[in-house]
Amino acid sequence: MSGVTEWEPEAENWVRWARQPGHDAYWYYRDAFFDLIPPAGERTIELGCGEGRVARDLFERGHRVVGVEPAPTLVRHARDADASGSYVVADGAAVPCTKGAFDLVVAYNSLQVVADMQGTVKEAARLLRPGGHFCATVSHPAMDLGRFVQGKSEMSFTIRPAYFERRRVDDTLEMNGLEVTCRGWTYTFEDYFVAFERAGLVVETMREPRPSTTSGTFERWQTVPLFLMVRALKPR
């Protein structure tokens, strides 16, 4: 379970990074994600919940949420911030919950991070009742393929050629005095969509949202998609 070893040492940095309002991309993309997800049913589960901000936002929108996260320090922070919530230390590919117990499974910015992406999608399908939905946000494969380069007068986006090559992501981000190291993998569109297909999930729709800000650090993501958002159905 490499997710535990990799994210546990970054836990305190991640909490500071994730909880600073307006600091990271979450604040400019979450509305697009919440527009994609179905109305609250009886039970929702989030795989890779971190310190719990998505679970808390879902709760505010009427969801009863279980948060699943392998890093114990992040689960402790999630519980401290939400005493009435339910948080479990577990791998997203092996969740100690009953088959078919959830109307909605959410994976926000975690499928490209988990040790076993296909296994986690399969686990999402197992946890869903027939007719339930799986909603995921991942790093957009186009974003993984390139980087912004500041030219003399304008910014350009430079693409590397090996789209099909699966690469390790190990990026230390620094912004406004905060720092965090994010680790995971790059995937192609096909990797994700085949994982959904093999898990028996039918993709209903997808989004390539632009940030809800047209200034500051995230303005450049008006031109290239930072995230891919998908809603899939477990057929009855």
Ligand X SMILES: C[S@@+](CC[C@H](N)C(=O)[O-])C[C@H]1O[C@@H](n2cnc3c(N)ncnc32)[C@H](O)[C@@H]1O
Q: Should residue 71 be labelled a site residue for ligand X when binding is judged by CB under 6 A?
A: yes
Q: Should residue 108 be labelled a site residue for ligand X when binding is judged by CB under 6 A?
A: yes
Tell which one of 15, 36, 37, 74 touches ligand X (CB under 6 A): 74
Residue 171: CA atoms inside 13 Å, Cβ hemisphere, count? 12
Q: Should residue 191 be labelled a site residue for ligand X when binding is judged by CB under 6 A?
A: no
Q: Should residue 7 be labelled a site residue for ligand X when binding is judged by CB under 6 A?
A: yes
Q: Give dist(CA 39, CA 104) in Å, integer.
A: 9
Q: Give dist(CA 17, CA 167) in Å, integer.
A: 24
CB of 49 vs ligand X, minimal distance in Å: 5
CB of 91 vs ligand X, minimal distance in Å: 4
Angle at 122 between CA 171 and CA 82, to 5 degrees: 65
193-212 residues in contact with ligand X (CB under 6 A) are none
What is the Cα 6 distance to its own chain's centre? Answer: 16
Q: Classify burial at 45, counting beta carbons within 10 Å of its beta carbon; exposed 0-12, middle 13-18, buried 19 or more.
A: buried
Residue with tokens 């320090």: 73
Neighbours of 145 (CB within 10 A): 19
CB of 235 vs ligand X, minimal distance in Å: 25
Q: Should residue 111 be labelled a site residue for ligand X when binding is judged by CB under 6 A?
A: no
Tell which one of 69, 82, 123, 144 touches ligand X (CB under 6 A): 69
Q: Should residue 117 be labelled a site residue for ligand X when binding is judged by CB under 6 A?
A: no
CB of 222 vs ligand X, minimal distance in Å: 21
CB of 123 vs ligand X, minimal distance in Å: 9
- CB closer to ligand X, 116 vs 197: 116
Positions in the binding site for ligand X (CB under 6 A): 1, 3, 7, 18, 26, 47-50, 53-54, 69-71, 74, 91-92, 108-110, 113-115
